[in-house]
Structures are given as C-alpha cells and as structure tokens.
Structure 1
Amino acid sequence: MKRSSLCASALVLGSAFFLRPAMADEQPRLWAPQLLGAQYTFIDQHQGRVHSPYAGPLSLRAQANQARSHTFGVYFGMPVAPHAAVYLDVEMFRGEGVSNATGLAGLTNGDVIRGGGSLSRNAYVARAFVTYDIPLGDATTEIKRKMDQLPGQQADHRLGFKFGLLAVNDDFDQSRYANSTRTQFLNWGLFNNLAWDFAADTRGYTVGGVATYANGPWIWRYGVYQMPVQANGQKLEGPIWRARNENLQLTWQADANGPAVWLLAFRNKARMGIYRTVLARAAQQGTTPDIRSDDRDGRHKYGIAAGFDLPLADDGDTGLFGRWGWNDGKTESFVFTEADRNASFGGQMAGARWNRPRDRIALAFVVNGLSPDHRRYLAAGGSGFVLGDGRLNYGEEQIAEAYYELAATSFASVTADVQFIRHPGYNRDRGPARFVGLRVHLEY
C-alpha cells in the first residue's frame, strides 16, 4: 500500500471511530479546522576552504562555497470529538546545503534535506495524523496553541494515542534548548541525538503510531514506525512487521519549567547490509566494499540514548542541556546520518540581562564517533549516504556551534550562527572546516 493511501485510510478510520455523539457530561466542541501556525525560514550559509589532500564521492568540498535554503509551512488542527483531534501540516523546501549536504555526520543546516536533490520542490503533506487521549484523573494542565497542538486542558494522568503520517522526533528525544533548527542550533548534532537512527523518509517523515502513558512527572512512550526500503530512501517499506523502527522512552519532569531527564532505547529491523560481511567479501575479491550490495531483509540495529535539560533562570529560558547516544554499529547507517556514538553539551542564555528578554545566545559542543566495523568500511574506500572520502585516517568528528538570535518583532527573528568542525567526516586528513550562517525566521 502506498504511504498516501495508508495515511488517508488511517485518518478516515480514526475520524469514524471518534466521531460519536457527545455524552451528557462531555463538553461539546466545534468541528472546524483551525490554523495553528505558519512559518518561513531562510538560511544563508557560507563554508570556508577546507584542507583536503584527497577526496571521494561524498567528501566535504575543499573549495569555499555558499548555499541558501528556504522552508515554508502551514499547520492545521481540528477537534473531532472530546479528547480527539486530527492534524494536517503542509510544507515546502527550496534550495540546498553547502557541499550538497554531504561529507559530515553533523551536517551544518538542519533545514536541508540530505541527498534530496531529486525530490520535488513543490508543496507536500508533511504530517497527517489522529490523536486521542483517555483521561485517567481529574488534574489537568492548560496547553497553548502551537504547531500540532490545539489549545485546551490536558489531563496530567492520561493514556494517549497518535497515528498516521508523523515525524518520530516530534515525540522522542525532545530538548527545550536544542530541538529546532529554525529557532535554535543549526547543526544536526544539536537537534537530535545522532546515534539514534530513527525511522524517516528522505524528508524526515514516516507512517506509524505512538502510545503515551503520563502519570504526573513520569511519561512513558512507545512508538513503532515504517522504515524506508533503502538507506536514506523516500519510499517506505511495508508491511510494518517486515521492517520497522521501535522506540521506548521514559521521561521525568516534575514541572514544565523544571529539569527534565530522559532515557531512550530503539531497535530497527530493515533491509540493511552488514559492514563486516562486505569487508570480508571485498578483501577476498580485491574490490571496494559496497554496503548496499549486502542489503538483506530482517537485519537489526539497536541502541540507547539519554538526555537532560537543566533550567537555571529566566523562567527556564536560561539553562544547560546534554545528550549521549550509542548504537551497535554493525549494520549500515540507514536513516538519520552516519554516527554510532554521540555526545553533546551546551547552554542557552536569555537576553534579559541586557534588556533584550526575547533574545537568545547559545553555545554547544558535539563529539561523534563510529563503530570499529563502520570506520574500517570507510577506510577501505566504502561510501554511505553522506560519507565517502575514498579512505580514512580516523578521528572523532568534533563540532562547536554558537549563535545569537535577535527577536526583531513578536513574529520575526534574525540569527547569526558560526560553526567550527575538526575531523569532518571522521577524517584527520581533512579540515578543519568553518561555517558562517544567517537565518531569518518568520512565525505565526
């Protein structure tokens, strides 16, 4: 079944299930679509010259280059029954990333589609899903209107369900200070844990569902989603029992403006290749290893990740954050990027101290690493979907990023961003690389 047909069926079935007459003790609701938000983000990024004694098919370019990207989005929601709603997001992407968004695990512009040059630049449906909450207690918290969230009261003790066309990272590995490339850090290593190879098509979306159990400060989430047919592919594999990404996360947060800690475990089943197998075959045949030649159904990848947010002042707008992640690194990097180890740490400060309370200044550091099998594969000349220098003098990829976000108006911000990367693509023979960026973000 095609993804569009599956999403449409899920929405129709979900709406039919939840469209029932209100009980006597239920508050009637208006069944009308609501515009929850709209945004436009422009990013202009310049890459300086990079030391490059040799290059492969996916190396970071040696010469200086500049690239611009544009993203547009409109976001709708509609209540369809008490505690049930449907959501629809439409987005459009134009432009490209520096070095064609390759040559790094921590790509420098999170709004860019990696290797997605063949995709249509027309508007597309990004999300289309149904949500349903079952309150398990009387205590509630008021939630405000925002993208993919209708305003109202949400039960503190509840069981929730969400299914359809989704983005997995909307519900897992969420950080207050490092989660949005449109308003916070630009680098991929700072909006999600790079060792977490979560399900997505090339644009970053997939079909699946997530169940949430919330009881005060404790929140459990379990989600299962379709994997792509091939690494970084746009077509999703079906049926779900044949190839899937499963995620289980436990989060503790006693207060919305207080500290948060989360622990995440994931397991992927997909048509993947095994690095050790292709290395042995290439050595026997005297050829360059190709991980795609070993793709077989039923292969597995698993890993764990953890993170924390530590608000310090300014109602939580000043604080620290950190992430750590690991995966087994035996099968090919398949969806997010090529990283098997990840650690990051940083902080954000609100501008209240210089009479600019809506401004933000932030600094963070990232270290990415590869499993022994993965690094041997690249050293033998193999390529993935973002890395391939032809050979490799291995070193951990080290990233520093800083930005200043100026709140120009209540709906517009301008951000100056700088990034410095040692051992880009895990190669000590390459770099360092420097990037300067300018971001303009408009949001309703």
Structure 2
Amino acid sequence: MRSRRAADYVVCLVLGGGCALYSTPAAAQPVPPAPHDEEAFDVMKELSRRGLHDIHDESWNLYGQYTFITSYKPPISAPYTNVNGSPNSLWPQAERGFTSTFTLFGGIRLWRGAEAYVVPELIAERAFSTLHGLGGSTENFELQKTGSEAPTLYRSRLFLQQTIGLGGGRIEKTSDPMQLAATVDSRRLVLTVGNFSALDIFDRNGVIGDLRQTFFNEAFMTHASWDFPASARGYTYGATAELYLGDWAVRIGRLAPPANPNDYPIDARLWKYYGDQIEIEHDHVLFKRPGAVRVLAYRNHENLGRFDDAIAAVDADPKKNAAACTSYNYGSGNFRAPDFCWVRRPQVKVGVGVNVEQSIGDGIGAFARAMYSDGRTEVDAFDSADRDFSAGVVAHGSLWQRPLDVTGVAFAATWISGAHARYMARGGIDAFTGDGRLDHAAPEELFEVFYSLNLLKALWLSGDYQFLAHPAYNADRGPEHVISGRFHAEF
C-alpha cells in the first residue's frame, strides 16, 4: 500500500493535483474511450474554432462523458437456485438494473514526448442478482464488483506516458480522450507507467470501439477468459512498453494483481506477484480493405487456489469445506462444498488469444475474438471463464445518411474447463458463479443486437436486446432475456 500511494504522489506532483479522489471500493469496468468522430461535437473543437486552442498540436486537453444504462430481465426458468447455501445463482424473478457514470479525461504535455493523464469518475449502479449468476456475459459492461446505488467518486487513472521517436514517416495523432494531438514518428517506442487499465494498452478493437456507443454486454469488451490484473474497480498499477514499426506493433507489460482474488486492494510487489502480458499486432489490407490481427498472451503469477486442490482438500478432510472458511472467501454457507480458501498459494496461470478486425464495406466492419486459458485455477480479477469466442458485425449510419448512428449484431460463447466444472458440480463457487450444483454443464451463449441513434451530434440514444443461454454454464437454468436502453453524451 505504501509503494502504491508513493507512486500516486509522484504522478500527482507532476500533474499539480488530482489526488483527492480516493474513495470506497466502487468502479465501472475499465472501458477505454474511443476517438471522437470528426462530425460530433466536443468542447476542444469548439475552443479551436474560436482560436483558443491548437487542436493539432496540444499542450493539454479535457474531454468528458455521461452514460446511463437501464436494463430489465423477465423471470427465468430455474428448477433450483442457491442450493445448500451457495449464494451465487442468477435470481429467477424479474429484475431491473441500471448504471450511471460520469467521467472526465484530462491530459497535459510535460516535456517533449511526455504526457500525463488523470481520469476521475462518478458511478452509481444496481446489478441483477447482486452481480452474480453469469460467467462471461454480464449484461451491462459498466457494472462493477462492489458498487452501490449511492454515487461514488473515485480516480480511475493517473499515469505518465513517454513517446520516443525512432524515425520513419510522420503521422498525426488526433485530439481524443487520453490522447494529446501531435505529430509523431511512425517508428516509435511508447512507455506508460502508473495507474491505468490493461484495456487501455492491450486488446483494442477498432470495429467494436467504445462500448458506451456500441454493444452493452461485457462479452464484447475483451476476452472473457483473459484474467488481466485489476482491482475490483478494473484498474491496476504497472508499466508497459509499445514498439510501433510501420504495420507491426509489439506491446509488453507487467501489471499488479489484487491482494485477494476479485478484491479492491492491489498488491504492488511486482517482483513477487504480477501479470505479464505480450501482444503482437499486424495491420493489413485485404481486398483493398483495412484490418488488423492481434495475438495476446499472458502469464500471471498470483496467490490462487486450484480447482482440483480444493476438491482434494475437502475429500481428505470434510472440515475443510466452504462454510468453515475463516480466511478470504466468497461467502458460501455450503458445508459440503470445496473452497479455494484452504488451498491458495503462489500459482501460474497462462492463456493465449487472437483478436481480428476487418473492414468489409464502406461503414461496415467485422470482428472476432477467441482465447484459451489453462483453466486450472480460480479467476483472479475478471470473468468466470476459461475459454471464449465472440464475433459480430458493426455498421455505421453513413450507409443510410445518418453518419453518427451505429448498429451491430454479435454472438459470444464462454466455456469452463473440466476441473472448473467438477468444482462447481460439488457446490463450489467463485466471485460470480456457483448454483450449489451443476448436473449438466454447457457453454454460456449470448446473442445481442443494438441500435444507437445520434441526436444533436453529442447525444446518443440506444436500444438493445440480449438472449443468454445456460447462465453460469448451467444447462438446467435459463435462458435469460435482457432488454436495455442507454443515454450517452460526450463533450
């Protein structure tokens, strides 16, 4: 904790403030902001139009957003719920949920190639079933692990970024949230250090863009089975390096995990517990259309429990059950179930995935993601999933004379490993899933369609429908239908 706060103070001194936004553990998922559309309204362009700001070579910028999402699910079919004191089922009754987020993105240039960013955020929420009962398909990507209906203010990001030119042609970076406009070398090294999200650096997808304008479900935010290090807020501390060489890019990073799985405090001892990430990207042109392929691999060294070890522990000694846990646990009252609390120790978790985006027509893009994680240990910081696949199509309204509208349709599926399924069949739970029994395991499958209507160049109203089969990998429960609406504003 001391090292983390010390890092905060150093960056805050450089920024000249911004450190007062510590608060109780609550936060939205770490959605990276999308570039602003040239036709949309924002304050920086208005200042530039009035001659008060150089929007092509910025020394500072400030952007903001507000998003409200409301969701409804009708009752679901559920022959059983929360068996034997296991608390993580999706509730069978009808439910309504919401999120409300307000975010500011501030950036300042410090010296040549150096930039600093601070991002405060305000959130309030109500989740379905207290955010339990779904593995890799949470219906609203903004939902947090420890939020409340009372608005909570916190600082999501505070980091330094240094760009080192290495030659090649010159390219223009536009003015956007968390990006100062500048002209940089096409060959360059970008170093980032501080408090940020892994999603700010890795696994971006230009077709999907910012989920505040496109899909609602978290399955399309990133790989569901990528267990990237993060606190309960979705952010972490660490350092990354990005090397851009024309059509190629390589990104590496070491990030700090939570002190306990899916908890808020971060363990900043990066020499002891850490998540190492590497991503290789290649941009291409296929049939005269731009696209990109990214391969992401991770290796986490964290204090985790293994599924098979937890089962073996309760089999060898029935007193080592979920209800008897006295160390960090997920609150199960099941006296027969295994639990990770008895078997946590330093473990290695690995996974590899691919991320593809491709333009397939004017204003139309397709995307796909797939990842395979080893599935031997509990989830440390993200979704309860060991494998995932998603694919879809996004179309922009330029095709029907509404250039700022956007619509899309997509499918996603997540799986759990055999060891994970055995653990849940015995009544085991993790941070999000566990009905107390699992007689028939099945992939969690999702279909989603949305339309986002632009108003006045800075406002978007969106409607969304989701169909989700086999919630929490349980073929005996569900399906779930979710109908949602969204109001989104940018400035």
Same-fold call, TM cutoff 0.5: yes
1:366 aligns with 412
| Aligned pairs for 1:27-42 within 5 A | 33-35=60-62, 37-42=63-68
Residue 290 of structure 2 aligns to a residue in which SS? coil
Match of 1:283 in 2: 315
Structure 1 match to 2:130: 100
Distance 1:188 1:329 in 2: 20
Unpaired segments ≥5 residues, structure 1 = 16-28
Equivalent of residue 454 in structure 2, options 384, 399, 407: 407
In 2, are the aligned partners of 1:168 and 1:206 still within 8 Å (CA)?
A: yes
Q: Which residue of structure 2 lines up, in the alignment, with residue 8 of structure 1? A: 9
Residues 44-193 of structure 1: pairs in structure 2 closer than 5 A: 44-56=70-82, 57-105=87-135, 106-114=137-145, 116-117=146-147, 121-193=151-223
Match of 1:319 in 2: 365
1:189 alignment partner AA = A
- What one-letter code is carried by the residue in structure 1 that aligns with 2:392? G
Contact 2:124 2:148 in 1 (8 A): no
Seen in structure 2, the aligned counterparts of structure 1 residues 225 and 119 have a Cα distance that, compared at 3 Å, is farther
* C-alpha distance in 2 between matches for 1:45 and 1:120: 18
Instruction: Give the C-alpha shift of residue 6 in structure 1.
Output: 2.2
- Which residue pairs with 1:238 in the alignment? 268
Q: CA deviation at 1:4?
A: 3.3
Checking the alignment, whether the CA contact within 8 Å between 1:270 and 1:299 is kept in structure 2 is: yes
Structure 1 residue 340 and structure 2 residue 371: aligned? no
Q: CA offset at residue 284 of structure 1?
A: 2.7
CA gap 1:31/1:356 in 2 versus in 1, 3 angstroms: closer
Q: CA deviation at 1:195?
A: 1.1
Q: Deviations over 1:116-147 (max 9, x none)?
A: 13798431111000011110004121111111
Which residue in 2 is equivalent to 1:267?
Answer: 299
Aligned to 1:356: 402
Name the residue aligned to 1:423. 470
Taking only aligned residues, the RMSD between alpha carbons, in angstroms, comes to 2.0
User: Structure 2 counterpart of 1:352, which letter?
Assistant: S
Corresponding residue SS for 2:10: helix
Partner Cα distance (2:353, 2:486) in 1 = 29
Correspondence for 2:485: 438
Worse-matched range after superposition: 181-190 or 224-233: 181-190
Which amino acid in the other structure matches residue 142 of structure 2? D
Query: Which structure's relative contact order is higher, taking Cα pairs within 8 Å and 6+ residues apart?
Result: 2
**Residue 389 of structure 1 corresponds to which residue in structure 2?**
435
Q: Deviations over 1:44-81 (max 9, x none)?
A: 00011111111121111100110111001001000011
Seen in structure 2, the aligned counterparts of structure 1 residues 253 and 410 have a Cα distance that, compared at 3 Å, is same
C-alpha displacement at 1:381, in angstroms?
A: 0.3
1:248-301 deviations in whole A, cap 9, x for unaligned?
0000114798201000000111111111111111223343101233222x2110
Q: Does 1:304 align with 2:352?
A: yes
Partner SS for 1:358: coil
Structure 2 Cα separation of the partners of residues 259 and 418 of structure 1: 28
The offset of 1:189, in angstroms, is: 0.9
Q: 1:353 to 1:185 in 2, by over 3 A?
A: same
8 A Cα contact 2:124 2:151, kept in partner:
yes
Contact 2:445-2:468 within 8 A present in 1 as well: yes
Q: Percent identity?
A: 30
**Matched residue count:** 426
- Choose 3-12 or 177-186, whichever is displaced more: 3-12
1:11·1:164 contact (CA, 8 Å) conserved in 2?
Answer: no
Which is further off, 91-100 or 265-274?
Answer: 91-100
Does the aligned pair in 2 maintain the 1:45–1:68 contact within 8 Å? yes
Q: Is the 8 A contact 2:227 2:379 kept in 1?
A: yes
Give the AA of the match of 2:359: P
Aligned partner letter, 2:343: D
* CA distance in 2 between partners of 1:33 and 1:352 (Å): 31
| C-alpha separation in 2, matches of 1:148 and 1:241 | 29
Amino acid at match of 2:425: A
